[in-house]
Structure 1
């Protein structure tokens, strides 16, 4: 029988050298081994407790800050340090975005072997009450005789016992306890694993995932909660296609982009950018960088509901949006029609697969905008006939994949990285949203 040594949890004192990409302090043991310490900031001396050990690095948590950084602030949320929803509330906001910018630049240099000609000023908006879409985990804990509703803890095996959340829109963030009490009173409380929320300009929807059929009393309780708090309640008994309104009538969910006189309708589980104010600033920045002219044709890859596509259509001859989710494509087409934008075409395509035989791939384009998922856009970039595309704007939610794709565009396809910068779509988290401009 293999013997596994127990972790020595003896506290140790150390100096923090740097901040990791996930918001933890970086220190080194006397033997040079790296240790990542949650709750610690660069320049601090802390007393830390080991929490995990591996061959390449160790992990620990801060027990006491012995010498604090001048950049340390008092976290606003009482759950900070336990809840894993955000990890940077103890760092001053201007330093948060500075750290994210450093992550981007280091990734570009290390992975892509490139550097931007210009580092763009960080794009920021409101830092509290911004999150209009998200998913709460739900867990009934019989030992505590209560139901927990919240984000995962920093230890993702557990659900944080939240009373409030200051990064979520207040209509939801200040009612987490009420949600927990609601679920705790349901007969199906042990069979509800998650509740998703999403907010448009005029309505907020809750989608309750349930693994067993709901009895009439549970449905009545959910309906009463929705009426009391102004939420539209949807049920999800199986997959995404099973989502339906509790009372049989679905409210209109949409948000406007006033600068382009565009309204985007969406469904309860659709992807939308979580930070409404930052989203508008991001669209404006992307369109300004792309500099598309009235006579040009633009390709928008990973277009979703048309978040960039429809504003682009206001100023160009034609824009083609391509997206892998057929449902999103159908709603993007409906959004184009609703906004009277006949010069916006949409196609459904798996952009990780070979698309060279598709009609949209063979069409010529002057400019390219892309906003891929975390995995990036390497597969589709290798297929695209880029010769006629003079300018590319790349919006990224993962600096590593952006750096990889930037290296490809610069070193193999003849582009130069004109500029790059970060956008604070998720303040107080370690998530890095970036934007980059490439020109031939």
Structure 2
């Protein structure tokens, strides 16, 4: 287990309730950490991370792990409850044995969850990147329940219990939680959990089906069944009957993700729409798409509004994936380049571009758009220059961030200003100009902060705005967005 990370307080303790005034053994919870644990300090200053505790609460806790300068503990009693504590919306959430580990914050009011995550973003930008945004963007929020259109559900036939479990893993455990409902899943999928358990129990292959991957489009619900042995004719018949009854589309995965195929060809294609731009995005259930489509629509619209692309401009979309930002950009720009590490996603992006270009007949056609496959974790200044100058950048990396890209941009700037120890300008860089504006969409505030530090302190940018995006309500996951302008 990784060492807990302390954040600066999200809620400051009041003077009358300072630690020194408390009864022996009581703790004043000051903040929440990245794992949604309450953070308190003992009278000697030692930090205690407390499962289940919320900021501003007075609690007692049972320590179960000790280190030199921190401890981990479980909540024993709450002596003063936070005004933000709420009744969890799911019976499987909690600290009890067998509790589901899919959510971490259901006991905290969703508005307070947003405030905590916004503070996590600000703290990371400052403490890790020494960057402070000039403006804090209003958080992007959406439905707190029924939002999770993508999920990887573990499957386990438990012979001793005589049942099949389908759901997320238990808290801090490899065991599958015994879930009968899941209100963060769309209602029609939530209602399918028990029928899915019965279905798997009825299969000949019930012991060799470890996973069901869920992917919901706007009108199609796809279920990908991972099976370690060939399915019998009877099993196939059972899957077809389930699909007909529950209105789902079965895909089968006998080996790796590249082996995924439809059980029965035909039927409606899995897709989602971005109505603000007249774009429809077909995808396969194993392609990366955002978990929360309600937030994704707002996220794309805000990113493009902040980027403020003009019809005369060239834009690069780094880590473009299926084209979630690229195709909307192509409705506004003169020219767009989408760069992605996966050859399969680049191929899908080209297909999606062609589909949407054909659908744009009679309206403004999409801008000239090229898609390229490249390992963006090995980016160099030479490669950056070879891609040509762009007026604006959209950057949407995975959790690892965009360090190589930001460093390449910083290296060019350091060479240009003749900084001590800088490498010479790469060939062709004399006429190359950096983007005037960058919108960076992040799913990890720590790597965003690291990259922001490079952009602000070495690449010649200022951070004009930043804000959090509550893509995953009730979890500790922090999605965010930042805007960088040439200083």
SS in 1 for 2:161: coil
Are the aligned partners of 1:232 and 1:251 in contact in 2 as well (CA < 8 Å)? Answer: no
Are the aligned partners of 1:47 and 1:62 in contact in 2 as well (CA < 8 Å)? Answer: yes
Q: Aligned residue for 2:343? A: 326
Q: Distance in 1 between matches of 2:62 and 2:330?
A: 55
SS in 1 for 2:74: strand
Could you report, residue by residue, the CA deviation over 1:347-367 in whole angstroms, capped at 9, with x for unpaired residues? 111101245565984311000
The count of corresponding residues between Structure 1 and Structure 2 is: 429
SS in 1 for 2:77: strand
Aligned-residue Cα RMSD (Å) equals 1.8
Q: Aligned residue for 1:347? A: 372
> Of residues 366, 386, 390 in structure 1, which corresponds to 2:391?
366
Q: Aligned residue for 2:27? A: 14
Q: Distance in 2 between matches of 1:212 and 1:16?
A: 51
Could you tell me which runs of 5 or more consecutive residues in structure 2 were left unpaired when the two chains were aligned.
1-24, 358-365, 414-432
| Residues 42 and 337 (structure 1), Cα distance of their counterparts in 2 relative to 1, 3 Å cut | same
Aligned-pair CA distance for 1:214: 1.5
Q: Distance in 2 between matches of 1:223 and 1:54?
A: 54
Greater shift in the superposed pair: 62-71 or 383-392: 383-392
SS in 2 for 1:17: strand
Aligned-pair CA distance for 1:13: 4.7
Aligned-pair CA distance for 1:189: 1.6
Q: Aligned residue for 1:375? A: 400
Q: Aligned residue for 1:187? A: 204
Aligned pair 1:76/2:89, yes or no? yes
Q: Distance in 2 between matches of 1:215 and 1:63?
A: 51
Are the aligned partners of 2:334 and 2:367 in contact in 1 as well (CA < 8 Å)? Answer: no
Are the aligned partners of 1:120 and 1:419 in contact in 2 as well (CA < 8 Å)? Answer: yes
In our comparison, the structure showing a higher alpha carbon Rg is 2
Q: Distance in 2 between matches of 1:61 and 1:211?
A: 39
Please show how residues 248-287 of structure 1 align to structure 2 within 5 Å.
Answer: 248-249=265-266, 251-287=268-304
Aligned-pair CA distance for 1:389: 0.8
> Of residues 232, 251, 270 in structure 2, which corresponds to 1:215?
232
Q: Distance in 2 between matches of 1:229 and 1:409?
A: 50
Could you report, residue by residue, the CA deviation over 1:183-226 in whole angstroms, capped at 9, with x for unpaired residues? 12222222111110001112110001111222222222122111
Are the aligned partners of 1:356 and 1:362 in contact in 2 as well (CA < 8 Å)? Answer: no
TM-score (norm 2): 0.85
Q: Aligned residue for 1:158? A: 175
Could you report, residue by residue, the CA deviation over 1:114-138 in whole angstroms, capped at 9, with x for unpaired residues? 1000111111111111111111111
Q: Aligned residue for 1:119? A: 136
Aligned pair 1:94/2:98, yes or no? no
Please show how residues 108-147 of structure 1 align to structure 2 within 5 Å.
Answer: 108-147=125-164
> Of residues 444, 454, 457 in structure 2, which corresponds to 1:398?
444
Greater shift in the superposed pair: 285-294 or 380-389: 380-389
Could you report, residue by residue, the CA deviation over 1:103-157 in whole angstroms, capped at 9, with x for unpaired residues? 0000001000110001111111111111111111112222222221111121132
SS in 1 for 2:289: coil
Q: Distance in 2 between matches of 1:159 and 1:60?
A: 24
Are the aligned partners of 1:302 and 1:371 in contact in 2 as well (CA < 8 Å)? Answer: yes
SS in 2 for 1:153: coil
Aligned pair 1:58/2:58, yes or no? no
TM-score (norm 1): 0.93
Q: Distance in 2 between matches of 1:249 and 1:355?
A: 44
Are the aligned partners of 2:332 and 2:367 in contact in 1 as well (CA < 8 Å)? Answer: no
